[in-house]
Amino acid sequence: MNSIDERFVTTALELPGYRVAKNIGVVRGIVVRSRSIVGNIGASLQTLLGGNITLYTELCERARADAHRLMVEHAGQLGADAIIGVRYDANEITPGVTEVLAYGTAVHVEAFRG
CATH code of the domain containing 80: 3.30.110.70
**Domain annotation covers residue 72:** yes
Q: Are 108 and 79 a contacting pair, CB within 8 Å?
A: yes
Model pTM score? 0.83
Domain-embedded: residue 80: yes
What's the confidence (pLDDT) of residue 52? 64
Does residue 46 fall inside a structural domain?
A: no
Give the residue numbers spanning the domain of 77. 6-34+65-111
**H-type alpha helices, 5-88:** 37-49, 54-77
- Which pLDDT tens digit goes with each residue over 29-83? 999 987 655 555 554 555 555 566 676 778 889 999 999 999 999 999 999 999 9
Please determine, for residue 17, whether its predicted confidence score (pLDDT) is greater than 90: yes
For residue 103, is it within any domain? yes
pLDDT reading at 105 higher than 90: yes
39 domain-assigned = no
Q: What is the DSSP letter of 7?
A: G
DSSP character for 8? G
Residue type, 79: G
Mean pLDDT, all residues of the chain: 86
27 or 113, higher pLDDT: 27
Q: Is residue 90 part of a domain?
A: yes
Domain membership flag for residue 10: yes
Lowest mean pLDDT among 19-23, 44-48, 87-91: 44-48
In angstroms, the Cα distances linking 67 to 3, 19, 40, 59, 94 are 16, 26, 22, 12, 19
Question: In the chain, how many domains are there?
Answer: 1
